[in-house]
Structure 1
């Protein structure tokens, strides 16, 4: 494993050769699968398996993301000895959309994401009788995972939250935003529109992106959406934002139910999710008698929101923490 860890540093220098060589060969080995989720929606996922592996990591992506974006992370974890499973949430990626405008990020109930994750867990994690089951969730995926662990705290041997969406950074103060969301909720013609300041997907230049300092990884991720317009998701609907806000509140209120060994990774330069909510979550976990690793979030200094797509040094720091944490919980 140490051999593979050493490759995490310095990869950006030869990223193109890596992406079109070893990574592409690995990606061609994938198995693309599906199941029926709530409301008879087709939920897609991908898996990478080996007969030699007895451990599995479930990756739970963030809003608008697809498993198409995650081959590098899957490659690294697979070569550390884990099977890897990655879900495409309803309304995004290659899973079924909910609205005629496929760019609108929407969900009827946030709990439907959790229900889908539970279905996949039973289908892939339990039925394959792995000796160890782990989960790594990013952003919105972290909110979904937290609510799932409140239901099933014994489901995984350990969980890592990367920049989890326990609170959303809104463009207006809470005292203004929440009444607007409540008003829009009462008007069907409004609640499924793009939330204030958002719209259809468009490519942003690297220089103004808020997600990562890694030019190579940012450009690579943009190409996925450029090559496959069907993957594109733009801004969220008013209803999605309201559901997300209430999901965050529910996570904090149910933190005492989550006894799964947990590590929270926080990006110091995050302006997509509310880092204060991550702090509050860890405090609630500690107050309940089962603190997160280190009691407080582990801060990746200098990182923007997409920690696992950051420059080599920050990404390697986070990935080492993830793998070492899982190794300690067998």
Structure 2
């Protein structure tokens, strides 16, 4: 573990050699699988397994992401002794799209995401193979994983939420946004069109991105989407935004009822999700007697939204917190 952690702090200096050498060879060993989800949507996912591993981590990405973006994360977790599974949510990545325009980020209802994740767990994590199963969920994935844990409180040993989407940063007061969204809800051409201020995918220059301070990781991720246009996803539909707002409110309302172990990492410079919603979630669990690990969100100082793709020092600190947290449930398992 210590050798692995030392690699996390010095990777960007030789990033090109790493990703075109050992990481590329490793990634070629992945297994890509699929199943048919609700309404006949094909859900794609990947797995990286080893016979000796007795622990598993389910990685739940954020909106617009694909497992194609996650080789480095999978490498780091796998080399800590975990089998790793990463899902492509419906409507994005390599999974089936839901509207004729594949650039539109859409979902009929957020519970569909939860149903898909539950199916993946039934396919890959049920039975007695794994002594422990963990979740590492980012952004929208944090909301999805939290809702699945509400359904099945003992499904996972513990959950690490990385900049979870319990609220989103909006361009205007929420009551104004909600009024607009309610108006568009009865107008299909607006409900299933791009939300205000968003549009088709384009390559945002690194200098004005609000996701990470790591130039090499940001450029690598852009390359994935530029080289594979089928991965590209533009902005969300107005209906998706409406679902996201209501889902965040619902999660906040049920926070006192959630008893499953949670580590919550918060990006101090997040401009995508609402950190105050994370604070309220954590406080509600505290007051109910089921606090998040450390009693409050663990703030990653200087981090933008994509903590797992940040510059080395921030990313290494986050991975260390996550892996050490998971080890507290069985510190003798390595």
TM-score band w.r.t. shorter chain? over 0.9
2:27 matched residue in structure 1? 27
Q: Do residues 197 (structure 1) and 204 (structure 2) align?
A: no
Following the alignment from structure 1 to structure 2, what is the Cα–Cα distance between the partners of residues 128 and 121? 13
Q: CA deviation at 1:284?
A: 1.1
2:95 matched residue in structure 1? 95
Conserved? CA contact 1:74–1:84, under 8 Å: yes
Q: CA deviation at 1:304?
A: 0.2
Q: Do residues 314 (structure 1) and 319 (structure 2) align?
A: no
Q: CA deviation at 1:128?
A: 5.9
Conserved? CA contact 1:153–1:257, under 8 Å: no
Q: CA deviation at 1:253?
A: 1.2
TM-score (norm 2): 0.98
- Please state whether the residue corresponding to 2:295 is helix, strand or coil: coil
Q: CA deviation at 1:188?
A: 1.2
Number of residue pairs matched? 330
Following the alignment from structure 1 to structure 2, what is the Cα–Cα distance between the partners of residues 161 and 128? 25
Instruction: State how 1:1-330 maps to structure 2 within 5 Å.
Output: 1-127=1-127, 129-330=129-330
Q: CA deviation at 1:19?
A: 0.2
**Uncovered stretches (5+) of structure 1, i.e. residues with no partner:** none
TM-score (norm 1): 0.99
Single out whichever of 44-53 and 256-265 deviates more from structure 2: 256-265
Following the alignment from structure 2 to structure 1, what is the Cα–Cα distance between the partners of residues 59 and 36? 19
User: Post-superposition, which runs of at least 4 consecutive aligned residues in structure 1 deviate over 4 A?
Assistant: none
**Uncovered stretches (5+) of structure 2, i.e. residues with no partner:** none
Conserved? CA contact 1:150–1:255, under 8 Å: no
Single out whichever of 220-229 and 285-294 deviates more from structure 2: 285-294
- Please state whether the residue corresponding to 1:161 is helix, strand or coil: strand
Q: CA deviation at 1:173?
A: 1.0
Following the alignment from structure 1 to structure 2, what is the Cα–Cα distance between the partners of residues 258 and 173? 29
CA root-mean-square deviation? 0.7
- Please state whether the residue corresponding to 2:285 is helix, strand or coil: helix
